[in-house]
Amino acid sequence: MRIPVETLLNGVSRTLLEQVLPHVASRTARGQLYAAVDVLRNAARRLEWAGAPLETEAGSAEGALRTAASRLRESGAPAVAERIEANLRTWPAAPAAARAAAARLEIARAFEDLGALPAGVADAVRPILGGHLAAQAVRALALLQPSLLEEISRG
Amino acid sequence: MTDLAERLERFLAKRMPDATAIRVSGVEAHTEGFSAETFSFEAEVSRGGAAERRAYVLKREPVAGLLEPYDLEPEFRVLHALSEDPLPSPRTPWFESDPAVLERPFYVMERLPGEVPIPAPGASGEGPFDAAERAALAPQTARALAQLHAVDWRARDLGFLGAPGAEAASREVARWTERIERSGIAPDPVVVEALSWLRAHAPVCREVVLLHGDYRLGNWLVERAGAATRLAGLLDWEMVHLGDPIEDVAWCVSHLWRAGTPRAASLVPPLDWIALYAGASGRAVDAERLRFWELLAAVKMIAIQMTGIRAFCDGRTADLRMAIFDHQLAFLHALVAGLRGWLPLP
């Protein structure tokens, strides 16, 4: 998730106040809306995105990168392998968001490095990183709730 | 804007100086779109003793949104140029850039009949159309796109859109990469890798045509009538530009708009729709070129959503639909992973 939790919850508060409240006639409902905004505002500074999915992502990326580095060393690209392993050592241990961000950056860099290597070497390593991307995509999808886009469009 | 009707009456009076009276009614904001603001209204125009009632749609630049920075004038100029064309695009008589009129630039087009089915599975899970409607619309949508691509854009003075040469594909990759960078949000590594592949595999553009840029289910006005269902209009021309015709084909048949079905635009299998287009246009669609543009379509959608997320983070919009894109990116990342071969595609 790219939007900080505080920004997201404050944005929800703003939308409720600016775009929903003016169209609510019931006093009870208006009161509940204000209460919802009150809850959101007070929660906004106390919450962070859940760490577990981010730690899983970082762990998966680390595993893929170590495997890739090992394969690169075997394939005659030790400099790239060493760069990857050196960068792995610089990842922050915490918070989980920072570690996951470092992981994403390193995966992207590793793909760029592969672009400069002979096709035979790169093609053997690319699926290792691609496997992490696939697994991460599936994990991210598993966290999603059923979409309300159809209801949102119809109103 | 509570006095929109009055402002429109004054605007129309200036544009129709021969009218003796103009009354605007039924002003309604539409929330289906995610980009420019859309309002429909009716105008009763009196000339002498006769009054004529017409339905219009107004599109206004939003303060912030998915395709910012906004400039509605190019799409107006294209629609205006196509106003008398048999292509089902709405007649679009007026554009106004003076912010004194409605605070931001806007254009007015005539309202076409029909509804705009959205790319959602629907209650049946089969998308928004039944079998008869699908059979009717598939050839019409393919034919309309072929007609659009056959427009002589040079003769219509549409070169202002900026004609690319053989490098049309590279230009589009650069355009959408720049949009991602402008969002200030780090793209997911699956996107970074895809962009690298796109740059390395950009096909040479063999012909430059007028592209709708957003030709898809969700931008088609449809009059439902079973087997006589008709494609009544092509809407939302904000991404109009010149380029490779396969770009529009790939966007139309993309997984993005299949509404949870295995069919392009929920109509017919993708290869069948492509065959319809090939037959209508006389243009072959080769698999490698299509593969490139299908991947770029997914990246383009990611760039658009990242733009919306940025607008939300910056507080320039309170539209929560922009915030929804943050978690919806997971679908697009999975699509990119599938198109790159890391994941099986449905």
- State whether A55 and A21 are in the same domain: no
Q: Are B139 and B276 in contact (CB under 8 A)?
A: yes
Give the largest CA-CA distance in chain A. Answer: 73
- State whether A107 and A134 are in the same domain: yes
Nearest by CB to residue B327, choosing from A1, A19, A154, is A1
pLDDT at residue B12, as a whole number: 95
- State whether B84 and B224 are in the same domain: no
pLDDT at residue B49, as a whole number: 83
Residue B193 C-alpha from the chain's centroid? 27
> Which residue of chain B is at minimal alpha-carbon distance from A106?
B189
User: A134 to chain B nearest CA, in Å?
Assistant: 5
Q: CA dist B219 to B107, B165, B197, B208, Å? A: 18, 28, 29, 23
Q: What distance in Å separates the CA atoms of residue B265 and residue B270, rounded to the nearest whole number?
A: 8
* Domain-located, residue B345: no
> Which residue of chain B is at minimal alpha-carbon distance from A15?
B318
CATH number at residue B32: 3.30.200.20
Q: Residues B260-286: what's their mean pLDDT?
A: 97
* Domain-located, residue B344: no
- State whether B36 and B154 are in the same domain: no
Question: Tokens standing for B255?
Answer: 């997984």
> Is A130's CB within 8 Å of B340's CB?
yes
* Total domains, chain A: 2
pLDDT band (50, 70, 90) for residue A1: confident
pLDDT band (50, 70, 90) for residue A146: confident
* Domain-located, residue B209: yes
- State whether B51 and B174 are in the same domain: no
Q: Which of B62, B58, B92 is nearest to B76 (CA)?
A: B92
- State whether A22 and A95 are in the same domain: no
Which of A14, A113, A150 is most worth mutating to test chain B (most B CB atoms within 10 A of its CB)?
A150
Q: Please enumerate residues of B whose Cβ is less than 8 A from a Cβ of A.
A: 31-32, 118, 120-122, 185-190, 192-193, 196, 200, 306, 309, 312-313, 315, 318-321, 323-324, 326-331, 333-334, 337, 340-343
Res. B130: pLDDT tops 70: yes
pLDDT at residue B104, as a whole number: 92
**Which residue has better confidence, B137 or B71?**
B137
Can you name the residues that pair with B56 across neighbouring β-strands?
Answer: B41, B110
pLDDT band (50, 70, 90) for residue B285: very high
- State whether A18 and A55 are in the same domain: no
Q: Residues A120-137: what's their mean pLDDT?
A: 95
- State whether B83 and B218 are in the same domain: no
Question: Tokens standing for B72?
Answer: 């509605």
> Is A111's CB within 8 Å of B309's CB?
no
Q: What distance in Å separates the CA atoms of residue B23 and residue B46, rounded to the nearest whole number?
A: 9
- State whether B154 and B285 are in the same domain: yes
Quote the domain boundaries for residue B260.
Answer: 131-339
Q: What distance in Å separates the CA atoms of residue B46 and residue B42, rounded to the nearest whole number?
A: 13
- State whether A42 and A67 are in the same domain: no
- State whether A40 and A57 are in the same domain: no
Q: Are B164 and B243 in contact (CB under 8 A)?
A: yes
* Domain-located, residue A74: yes
- State whether B138 and B106 are in the same domain: no
Q: pLDDT per residue over B240-251, tens digit each? A: 999 999 999 999
* Domain-located, residue B52: yes
Q: Are B261 and B269 in contact (CB under 8 A)?
A: no
Which of A2, A49, A153, A154 is most worth mutating to test chain B (most B CB atoms within 10 A of its CB)?
A2
* Domain-located, residue A147: no
- State whether B154 and B266 are in the same domain: yes
- State whether B135 and B99 are in the same domain: no
Res. B32: pLDDT tops 70: no
- State whether B161 and B285 are in the same domain: yes
* Total domains, chain B: 2
> Is B337's CB within 8 Å of A130's CB?
yes
pLDDT at residue B65, as a whole number: 72
Q: What distance in Å separates the CA atoms of residue B6 and residue A84, rounded to the nearest whole number?
A: 65
Q: Which of B95, B68, B103, B66 is nearest to B79 (CA)?
A: B95
Res. B253: pLDDT tops 70: yes
pLDDT at residue B1, as a whole number: 64
Q: Which of A135, A91, A136, A134 is nearest to A109 (CA)?
A: A91
User: B340 to chain A nearest CA, in Å?
Assistant: 9
Q: Residues A45-74: what's their mean pLDDT?
A: 95
Q: Residues B182-211: what's their mean pLDDT?
A: 95
- State whether A63 and A83 are in the same domain: yes
- State whether B59 and B150 are in the same domain: no
User: B194 to chain A nearest CA, in Å?
Assistant: 10
- State whether B305 and B220 are in the same domain: yes
pLDDT at residue B33, as a whole number: 66
Q: Are B231 and B112 in contact (CB under 8 A)?
A: no
- State whether A13 and A76 are in the same domain: no
* Domain-located, residue A128: yes
* Domain-located, residue B117: no
> Is B318's CB within 8 Å of A11's CB?
yes
b/e per residue B228-263 (b: at least 16 CB within 10 A)? ebbbbbbbbbbbbbbbbbbbbbbbbbbbbbbbbbeb
Q: Residues B47-59: what's their mean pLDDT?
A: 92
Report the percentage of chain B scoring pLDDT > 90. 84
- State whether B143 and B227 are in the same domain: yes
* Domain-located, residue A124: yes
Residue B121 C-alpha from the chain's centroid? 20
CATH number at residue B291: 3.90.1200.10
Quote the domain boundaries for residue A16.
Answer: 5-47
* Domain-located, residue B171: yes
